[in-house]
Amino acid sequence: MIGQAYFRSQTFKAQPNRSPLVHTPALIYDLEVFKKRFLVLKQLEGDLNCKFHSAIKAFPHAKVQEIALQYGLGFDVSNYNEYAFLMAIARNLDWGHPIDVSITGPFLSEIAQTLSNVQERRHQHHSHSSSATRINVDSLTQYLSLKDELPEWVEIGTRILWEIDPGKRQSTRFGICTSDTEVFREIARDRRFSGFHAHISHKEKHDQSYVQCAESIVNLASQIGCAYKYINFGGSFHRESPAEITNLVLQLRRVIPSDVTIAFEPGKYWAKGAGSAITKVLDIKRMSRREGYWIVLDISKDCHLRWCKPIFNLPIDLSQSRRSVPAVFTGPTCHEGDILGAVELPLLESGELPISLGAVLRLRNIDGYAVAWNSEFNGIEKICVTFCEPSTELTYAVTAC
């Protein structure tokens, strides 16, 4: 690892002179934020007859998923490896309570045999009406390839492709079109059929799009004459306050029967505000064709922060600056596109940059996908992942700045 930095947390108040050493680059997550978010949504589950799932894809680290399991949340997994990851966490905790698992993805060929091998533990999944293991098939072909291998205790659902404007070119490859009623009818004949997983093809996902999708599913179920007990509306769930979530669920309840469980996969929501990164300045150079600077960091967009939109916390008093210059922060790889962001960097009164070689900076707004994408592309080492508890403002010594 390159460089080093220090941070202090209330966890270490008993040893005020012994700050833990964290090498840069590093990701730092506050576990208290996760606990608070899990607790708030868990309380809403009982009030609204809904279920919130923690997506393994969105934060594949045992520390976070252990907390989700202990709070009784459901889980969204996409393949055998994610399912095995979740089951390993349950074994490590000696977990004997029901686990709600929703399995949806294009690559499920290995998972049927695994589920058959855990058939003796089916009582763990059905001891509560809202807890089950469900596979949501993405196509008729996938259903036909899995149906004979899956044990009786595994519920089967269908993944629905729902588009706001079906007249436009199809914008996603996931799910079965709602117009394919015969496909849904055939799958719904399976005695294990239990519900629907909606893939809403719209990035914004306004409340009205959820309601329209619910209406489409309810009408489809009526048309093919099937009973169902859940509708999972999938990920990209961007509502953040209990009031927003409650308002959406109440709107959906006008369409969806009260005995049908409504599920969501908040994804990025769990980690919002919990993650930071610390990084060290490796190089600074002037731009050749315009005023400004390239500032090379030891953290990489390609290797470490893909899908993140970092916010720079710079150790600078902006009110004292009269002039600024553009600065583009880049990663250490040889890829031209390894860009973390650009800012207007205030100059000191002397006209010099306020950041020098070796300075340690903090980036905020780091989500769980930084853990998921952590790689060694171009020979760059994987980033260190650190957790702190309880919640506190992280501080660090800014050296050579």
For the chain, which domains are there?
5-28+272-388 (2.40.37.10), 31-270 (3.20.20.10)
Residue of 221 and 200 predicted with greater confidence: 221
Q: Which of 7, 104, 128, 124 is nearest to 56 (CA)?
A: 104
For residue 198, what are the β-bridge partners?
160
Predicted pLDDT of residue 133:
92
How far is residue 383 from each of residues 57, 201, 259, 372, measured CA to CA in Å?
18, 33, 45, 11
State yes or no: pLDDT of 14 exceeds 50.
Answer: no
Q: Which of 98, 134, 129 is nearest to 115 (CA)?
A: 134
Predicted pLDDT of residue 352:
86
- Mean pLDDT score of the chain, rounded to an integer? 84
CA distance 53 to 324: 45
State yes or no: pLDDT of 308 exceeds 60.
Answer: yes
CA atoms within 13 A on the CB side of 46: 6
CB 67 within 8 A of CB 31: yes
pLDDT tens for 77-97 read 999 999 999 999 999 999 988
Structure confidence at residue 49 as a pLDDT band (50, 70, 90):
confident
Q: What is the DSSP letter of 289?
A: S
Other Cβ atoms within 10 Å of 223 Cβ, number? 12
Predicted pLDDT of residue 125:
43
Other Cβ atoms within 10 Å of 72 Cβ, number? 18
Q: Which of 82, 62, 49 is nearest to 231 (CA)?
A: 49
What does the block give as tokens for 253? 């309840």
Residue where the block lists tokens 């315009």: 290
Query: Residues for the chain: how many in total?
Result: 401
DSSP-assigned letters across all residues of 363-398? EE---THHHHT---GGGPPPPEEEEE-S----B---
Residue where the block lists tokens 């001891």: 127
Predicted pLDDT of residue 393:
44
Other Cβ atoms within 10 Å of 180 Cβ, number? 17
Structure confidence at residue 261 as a pLDDT band (50, 70, 90):
very high
- The pTM of this model reads 0.84
Q: Is 213 helix (H, G, I), strand (E, B) or coil?
A: helix
Other Cβ atoms within 10 Å of 25 Cβ, number? 29
State yes or no: pLDDT of 177 exceeds 80.
Answer: yes
Structure confidence at residue 59 as a pLDDT band (50, 70, 90):
very high
* Beta strand ranges found along 239-292 (DSSP E): 261-264, 275-286
Of the chain, the percentage scoring pLDDT greater than 70 comes to 83
